[in-house]
Structure 1
Amino acid sequence: MTPAHTLNLLGVLSESKRIINTHSRHFLALSVLFLLPLSCAIVIYPTLYLPTRTPTPAPDVVSADFNYTFNSPQTLIFPLIYTFLTYLISICALATITYSTYHGFYGRPVKFFPAIKSILFSFLPLVSTALAAKFFICLISLSFLMFVIVIIKLVQNLGLGFVIDYNSTYFIWFCSVIILVLTLIMLYFQVIWGLASVIAVTESKWGFEPLWRSSYLVNGMRSVSLSVVLFFGVLIGVWVWMATNSVLGFNFVGDWRSWDFVLQTVISSCFLSLLTLLLLHYTAANTVLYMYCKALHGELAIEIAEEFAREYVSLPFDDAKVPHIVTVVSG
């Protein structure tokens, strides 16, 4: 029996790291197949979408005017293709890594082809759950913005002498506060719905049901869920920013034999590799958090007992195959 972890961020990170290290080659294969292309798409796309600028042909023009080619059909087709492929890869990565972490937590065999096969059963639940969440987020955002617009219009039409200057510092601060409040609302729903994708994969629930189920499971563990979201959100956000700047400074037309070109290649590869690692640990940590939430609500005891009994009769024992026991101590 492995030692019980405290239900906090360190426990989630430690358990997810244990599962990944136990099946390191399996998760490496999934990361190279799905997460590495996803990292490249996230980092390289902003540089590809930058407008190409060409100087005006007139030699007597002194001004630095540039012609930006935004009217090409590719400006609409390429983002659509990029969005579709990126979303498809992210769904595949989410399904396979969640499936593998879930079975690794129980000590079950974690194999490559069953993980790939899980995409067939998880694809539609993940897509329907994502659409349901986006529907609610859009509805809440529109309602909030409409409320703000109505307040502004009422102030203008009441004739109380208030004149709104849209260029004033006060209005900019007002907009900043509105954006902050809306961001906090989005963060709240990210916390309570953070387990929805895991539920869609492990319990095969669809649409709105994983959202309600996630809200129930996270109850009592919201601080841990918030810690996971902020920890990985900040790390991934900063790393994407650093990796994008690294790619922006890349000299693609330089001499590949020069030291600058080699150094830029190494730096960009390191950024992409570490971003892939962060995405892997975030997905695994979210799955472990789901298991901890089930343990807190008393749903894991029977499942753990069944898994332990199954492994008990298959001697000799292997630490990697013994189900992980989670103990919840209530003060």
Structure 2
Amino acid sequence: MSTAPAHTLNLCGVLFEAKRIVDAHSRHFLALSVVFLLPLSFSLIIFPTLQLSLTRSYVVSTQFFVFDTPDIQQNLTVHLLYSLFVYIFFLGAIATITYSTCHGFYGRPVNIFPAMKSLIYSFFPLVSTTIAAQLILSLISLTFLLFFTVIIKMGENLGFDTNYNSNYFMASFAFMSAALGLCLIYFQVNWSLACVIVVAESKWGFEPLRRSSYLVKGMRSVSLALMLFFGVMIGFWVWMNSNDVMHFDAVDGWRSWPFGVQVVIGTSLLTLLLLQNTAAITVLYMYCKALHGELAIEIVEEFAREYVSLPFDDEKVPHVVTVVPA
């Protein structure tokens, strides 16, 4: 049985393997990126400018005064439609790219039509899983808020004067916010593999969250590093390009060539970051399964199913990935 070089279970090992899979099927992942990630990236960069233009269209000028009369209902409708657009394309990218990365990791053929077909079976399970995760996170946030409110009310009932502008109150609020943030990050790290599990194992609802918490044990540091690495890079890139695009709109207008160049460059690099992020999370899922001894079992079962009636030779020996702890 041929064995690939051992990969270290750290951030660099995950990024290297994800890049190898994407480069090996570059045309396939390019097609998926154009369909799902490119519109998503374009909308993330251009939406602040679009929002600014819509706000300006509601300004009514007179000879001496300028009255700002925003249409709240129309703004809400635009934001809801934009959120729905981002959500649909995000789930489409997760389903198809995860499916393709899994097949590329195993060395199976990677085709565009099976990848698109996987979206049909994975879309609604992904919706149910994301709703389940958001429900739990919302309940946790509400619990923290209620706890903080109860503490304040108990202090007031005991005769303490609550000054909402005091340094003590602000420090207490900052402490509770930091505790809530750490708690939410902890759950995000434990659930980082949930969407991959939905696509790869056909689970949905709360089950992928539980399964992800099991698989990520021993790899939480890698999951956190991956989340921080791409979170910081994607967040900074979106913020920087959005500000630049808004500046071009204010100074030169939509038709200026710097505006077009900025949008093209920003959208292209953001698409690449989102693609590598999705592929890296899928590779992390594979490494977590290898760490728990599940990946070797799957390879043996697939080998026995596909080659049970064939003679053993070098061309029909499966490709096994070996991983070692960092």
Aligned runs of 1:131-170 on 2, under 5 Å?
131-159=131-159, 162-170=160-168
Aligned runs of 1:81-100 on 2, under 5 Å?
81-100=81-100
Cα offsets for 1:77-133 (capped at 9, x unmatched): 222221212111111110000000000000000000110000011011101110110
Cα offsets for 1:198-225 (capped at 9, x unmatched): 0000000010000000000001111111
Deviation >6 Å, runs of 4+: 311-316
Which one of 43, 62, 72 corresponds to residue 57 of structure 1?
62
Instruction: Tell me which amino acid in the other structure corresponds to 1:210.
Output: P
Q: TM-score, normalised by structure 1?
A: 0.89
SS in 2 for 1:323: coil
Corresponding residue of 2:181? 183
SS in 1 for 2:59: strand
Unaligned runs of 5+ in 2: none
Separation (CA, whole Å) in 2 of partners of 1:55 and 1:127: 41
Instruction: Tell me which amino acid in the other structure corresponds to 1:68.
Output: T
% identity of equivalent residues: 56
Deviation of 1:47 after TM superposition, in Å, equals 2.4
Q: TM-score, normalised by structure 2?
A: 0.90
Corresponding residue of 1:268? 263
SS in 2 for 1:250: helix
Corresponding residue of 1:292? 287
Which structure has greater helix proportion? 2
Corresponding residue of 2:13? 11
Instruction: Report the CA distance shift for 1:119/1:214 in structure 2 as closer, same or farther (over 3 A).
Output: same
Contact 1:304–1:325 (CA under 8 A) maintained in structure 2? no
Instruction: Tell me which amino acid in the other structure corresponds to 1:266.
Output: V
Deviation of 1:313 after TM superposition, in Å, equals 6.7
SS in 2 for 1:49: helix
Contact 1:292–1:326 (CA under 8 A) maintained in structure 2? no
Contact 1:194–1:286 (CA under 8 A) maintained in structure 2? yes
Contact 1:166–1:172 (CA under 8 A) maintained in structure 2? yes
Instruction: Tell me which amino acid in the other structure corresponds to 1:41.
Output: S
Contact 1:47–1:247 (CA under 8 A) maintained in structure 2? yes
Corresponding residue of 2:70? 69
Separation (CA, whole Å) in 2 of partners of 1:88 and 1:276: 16
Corresponding residue of 1:302? 297
Contact 1:38–1:89 (CA under 8 A) maintained in structure 2? yes
Cα offsets for 1:30-71 (capped at 9, x unmatched): 111100111112222222223226353133x5xxx4413224
Deviation of 1:315 after TM superposition, in Å, equals 7.8
Contact 1:30–1:96 (CA under 8 A) maintained in structure 2? yes
Instruction: Tell me which amino acid in the other structure corresponds to 2:90.
Output: S
Instruction: Report the CA distance shift for 1:217/1:314 in structure 2 as closer, same or farther (over 3 A).
Output: same
Instruction: Report the CA distance shift for 1:298/1:255 in structure 2 as closer, same or farther (over 3 A).
Output: closer
Instruction: Report the CA distance shift for 1:315/1:70 in structure 2 as closer, same or farther (over 3 A).
Output: farther
Deviation of 1:252 after TM superposition, in Å, equals 7.9
Deviation of 1:253 after TM superposition, in Å, equals 8.7
Separation (CA, whole Å) in 1 of partners of 2:71 and 2:63: 21
Contact 2:9–2:325 (CA under 8 A) maintained in structure 1? no
Contact 2:126–2:204 (CA under 8 A) maintained in structure 1? yes
Instruction: Tell me which amino acid in the other structure corresponds to 1:280.
Output: L
Point out the more displaced range, 321-330 or 267-276.
321-330
Deviation of 1:245 after TM superposition, in Å, equals 0.7
Deviation of 1:314 after TM superposition, in Å, equals 9.7
Corresponding residue of 1:214? 212
Instruction: Tell me which amino acid in the other structure corresponds to 1:179.
Output: S
Which one of 266, 276, 281 corresponds to residue 281 of structure 1?
276
Separation (CA, whole Å) in 1 of partners of 2:10 and 2:182: 22
Which one of 215, 223, 226 corresponds to residue 224 of structure 2?
226
Separation (CA, whole Å) in 2 of partners of 1:191 and 1:256: 40
Alignment RMSD: 2.4
Cα offsets for 1:306-328 (capped at 9, x unmatched): 4566589798859xx96341234
Corresponding residue of 1:196? 194
Unaligned runs of 5+ in 1: none
